[in-house]
Structures are given as structure tokens and as C-alpha cells.
């Protein structure tokens, strides 16, 4: 027998090994300890103009930067940076493109500093990035369109900055996103429909912007959806029934918008929903009388104040024994207050003012 088949086997197993090795790290990683050191040095010069980060000794030659505060290195790749944790350190300055030279970064946690200016587009080259938290800074400009390599991204928190423009529609290509927090910026335009179909979406918080248009019809697709807070925008249209039917949703906060239509009865029939805040909108119709066919409703807050709701307050609300807040003021509710409300042992706030 000729030895040829054996060689093929050896070669192919070598190939398998190197492929596995490559997929375990970054596919196009050209970095090494020295590029990481140069990048950290560049970061300190740009982000610490007032001289913070004292443990970062950037003078001289290559240092053991893995011991610097806020720097975490890889266990597998010696002297390669995988995480930056620099919260509340008075960092000031613009994020320099060299942050993208830390090519194995999986976590960027720089909240509550004084960073300003735009996010460098180079950040999109970090194809191992899973967590990005730049909340409570003064970053501005557009949120960069995501690169095609964002499949690792789980968490994006850009809340409390000065970002403007639209939410990039192709964020929805980052299929593993779990948390997307963009609250308190100056974002306008619609909420991209594609965000609704993110299969692992758990938290969608876009409160305090000037967003318009409808809530994505597909929101509620994710069976992990936990919290939706879109308060204080200019959204119109109804509450999508897929969202109302979600069996995982615990917080639905849509106050201060221009939403309308009837409130889906499924929201009062939910086995998961704890907070339902729909105040200051244009909802019409009445509160549905829902006979719970399960032991108890987890609903703690029902806030429907300042809408165009009418009809009687249903006595069935007396079965919602977890209820703490029932705020129904400034609507057109009629009739008497059901005696069953008196059964609500946890009730703390009851406001029925400004009705008929």
C-alpha cells in the first residue's frame, strides 16, 4: 500500500486543528502584546488628559499592562487585553480609533466618565466584542452603522449621552443582542422593525428621545423579552398584539407618547407582566374585564392616567391581588368604584381623579 492516504489524514487533521484554533480567537487577528501596549498607551493619552489612570505606567518599554487597573488580559493568550473596566474615573476626551487595535476585546465598560465626540467607526472592527457600555458620558454624533462582524454583541448601553440621528436599522443584523439601551439621547426617526425579531432580545430601552412612528410589529418575537421602556418619545399607533401576548414580558413602560387604539386585553391576562405604564397617551376604549384563569396576576402597577379611556372600572380588577398602584385619573371613566377594589390588600396608590 502507498503511504499517500496516511499523509492526507495527517494533513486534514492538521487543518481541522488550525481551523478550530482560528475560530476560538479572532478570525483576522493581527495583534500581539506590543500592539495592545501601544493601544493602551494611546488610550491613556487621549482619555486621561487630566492625568488619571495612575497605575497605567506608559513611559518606557513594554510593561506588564495586565496588572494595570481596569485592564483584564486573556487567560489563553498571554498579554492580550480582553476587557476594559473604567467606570467613573473622570476620563475626559474623545475615544481614539486606536481602541480598535485591542483586537481581542470582548468588553468595553466606560460608563459615567466625560467622554465626548463621536464613537470611532473603527470600533466596529472589534469582531469579538460582546459588551459595550458607554452610558452617562457626553458622546455625540450618529450611532455607527454596525459592521457585518457584530454577531458576538450581546449588550449595547449608550444611554445618557448626546447621540443624534436615527437608530441604525442594521443593528438588527447583530443577531445575538440581548440588551439595547439608548435612553436619554437625541435620537429621532423610527425604531427599526428588525429590532423586533432579535431572537434573544431581553431589554429594549429607548426612553427620553424623540422617536416617531410605530412600535415594531414584530416586538414580542423573542421569548426572552423582559423589559420594554419607550417612555417619553413621540411614538404613534397601537400596542402590537405580539407584544401584548408575550409570556415573558415583565415591564412595559410606554408613558408620554402619542400611542392610541384600544389596550389589548392580553396585557391584563398576562402571567408575567408586573408593570403596565401607559399614561399620557391617546388610548381609547375601556379596561377589559378579564377573568383570570390562573391563580393570581403578577400585575403590580396599572398606570393608565391621562388617556381617552371610558366605560366602567371593571370589578374583576379586585382579583389582581398583587396590585400596588392603580392610577386611572384624567380619563372618562364612569359609574361607581367597584367594592372589589377594597379587597386589594397591597394597594398603595389609588387615583381616580378627573373622571366622570
Give the interface with ligand NAG as residue ranges (CB under 6 A).
35, 38-39, 42, 87, 98, 101, 111-112, 116, 133, 135, 138, 140, 145-148, 150, 155, 157, 162, 170, 173, 175-176, 179, 181, 183, 199-200, 207-208, 229, 231, 241-242, 245, 251, 253, 265-266, 269, 275, 288, 290-293, 315-316, 318-319, 340
* Nearest CA-CA partner of 143 in 123, 125, 122, 164: 164
Least Å from the CB of residue 54 to ligand NAG: 21
- Name the residue nearer to ligand NAG (CB basis): 67 or 138: 138
Least Å from the CB of residue 55 to ligand NAG: 19
- Name the residue nearer to ligand NAG (CB basis): 49 or 241: 241
- Name the residue nearer to ligand NAG (CB basis): 2 or 295: 295
Residue 348 CB contacts under 8 Å (≥ 6 apart), including other chains: 324, 325
Least Å from the CB of residue 227 to ligand NAG: 6
The CA distance from 150 to 130, in Å, is 8
The CA distance from 226 to 303, in Å, is 18
The CA distance from 157 to 184, in Å, is 11
- Helix (H) / strand (E) element for 49: namely none
Least Å from the CB of residue 325 to ligand NAG: 11
Number of residues in the chain: 356
Residue given cell 498607551 in the structure block = 41
Least Å from the CB of residue 215 to ligand NAG: 13
Least Å from the CB of residue 299 to ligand NAG: 13
Cβ count near 43 (within 10 Å): 26
Least Å from the CB of residue 21 to ligand NAG: 22
Q: 270 is written with which cell numbers?
A: 398576562
- Name the residue nearer to ligand NAG (CB basis): 92 or 351: 92
Q: 92 is written with which cell numbers?
A: 475626559
Query: Which is it for strands 155-157 and 131-133: parallel, antiparallel or unpaired?
Result: parallel
The CA distance from 111 to 85, in Å, is 9
- Name the residue nearer to ligand NAG (CB basis): 82 or 86: 86
Residue 157 dihedral angles phi and psi, to the nearest 5°? -125, 105
Residue 59 dihedral angles phi and psi, to the nearest 5°? -75, 155
Least Å from the CB of residue 19 to ligand NAG: 20
- Name the residue nearer to ligand NAG (CB basis): 18 or 151: 151
Least Å from the CB of residue 260 to ligand NAG: 18
- Name the residue nearer to ligand NAG (CB basis): 144 or 213: 144
Judge whether 169 and 191 are in contact, CB under 8 Å.
Answer: no
Least Å from the CB of residue 188 to ligand NAG: 16
The CA distance from 4 to 168, in Å, is 54
- Name the residue nearer to ligand NAG (CB basis): 269 or 330: 269
CA 120 to chain centre: 20
Residue given cell 493601544 in the structure block = 39
- Name the residue nearer to ligand NAG (CB basis): 9 or 262: 262
E-strand ranges in 142-202 read 155-157, 162-165, 179-181, 186-189
Q: 168 is written with which cell numbers?
A: 441604525
The CA distance from 216 to 153, in Å, is 21
- Name the residue nearer to ligand NAG (CB basis): 82 or 132: 132
* Nearest CA-CA partner of 230 in 260, 191, 284: 191
Amino acid at each position: 500500500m502507498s503511504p499517500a492516504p496516511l499523509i492526507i489524514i495527517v494533513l486534514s487533521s492538521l487543518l481541522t486543528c488550525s481551523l478550530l484554533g482560528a475560530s476560538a480567537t479572532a478570525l483576522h487577528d493581527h495583534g500581539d502584546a506590543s500592539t495592545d501596549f501601544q493601544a493602551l498607551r494611546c488610550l491613556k493619552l487621549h482619555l486621561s488628559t487630566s492625568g488619571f489612570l495612575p497605575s497605567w505606567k506608559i513611559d518606557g518599554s513594554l510593561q506588564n499592562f495586565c496588572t494595570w487597573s481596569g485592564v483584564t488580559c486573556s487567560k489563553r493568550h498571554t498579554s492580550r487585553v480582553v476587557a476594559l473596566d473604567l467606570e467613573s474615573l473622570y476620563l475626559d476626551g474623545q475615544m481614539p480609533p486606536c481602541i480598535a487595535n485591542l483586537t481581542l476585546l470582548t468588553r468595553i465598560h466606560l460608563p459615567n466618565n466625560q467622554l465626548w465626540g463621536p464613537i470611532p467607526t473603527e470600533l466596529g472592527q472589534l469582531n469579538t466584542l460582546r459588551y459595550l457600555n458607554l452610558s452617562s458620558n457626553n458622546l455625540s454624533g450618529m450611532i455607527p452603522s454596525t459592521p457585518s462582524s457584530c454577531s458576538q454583541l450581546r449588550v449595547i448601553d449608550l444611554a445618557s449621552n448626546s447621540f443624534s440621528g436615527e437608530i441604525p436599522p442594521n443593528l438588527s443584523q447583530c443577531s445575538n443582542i440581548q440588551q439595547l439601551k439608548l435612553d436619554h439621547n437625541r435620537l429621532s426617526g423610527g425604531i427599526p422593525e428588525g429590532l423586533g425579531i432579535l431572537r434573544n432580545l431581553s431589554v429594549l430601552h429607548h426612553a427620553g428621545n424623540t422617536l416617531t412612528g410605530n412600535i415594531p410589529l414584530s416586538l414580542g418575537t423573542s421569548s426572552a423579552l423582559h423589559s420594554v421602556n419607550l417612555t417619553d418619545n413621540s411614538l404613534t399607533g397601537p400596542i402590537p398584539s405580539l407584544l401584548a401576548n408575550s409570556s415573558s414580558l415583565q415591564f412595559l413602560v410606554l408613558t408620554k407618547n402619542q400611542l392610541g387604539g384600544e389596550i389589548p386585553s392580553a396585557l391584563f391576562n398576562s402571567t408575567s407582566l408586573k408593570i403596565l405604564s401607559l399614561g399620557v397617551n391617546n388610548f381609547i376604549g375601556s379596561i377589559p374585564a378579564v377573568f383570570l384563569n390562573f391563580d393570581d396576576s403578577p400585575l403590580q402597577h396599572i398606570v393608565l392616567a391621562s388617556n381617552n379611556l371610558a366605560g366602567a372600572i371593571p370589578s374583576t380588577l379586585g382579583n389582581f391581588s398583587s396590585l400596588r398602584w392603580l392610577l386611572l385619573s384624567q380619563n372618562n371613566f364612569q359609574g361607581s368604584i367597584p367594592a372589589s377594589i377594597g379587597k386589594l390588600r397591597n394597594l398603595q396608590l389609588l387615583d381616580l381623579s378627573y373622571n366622570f
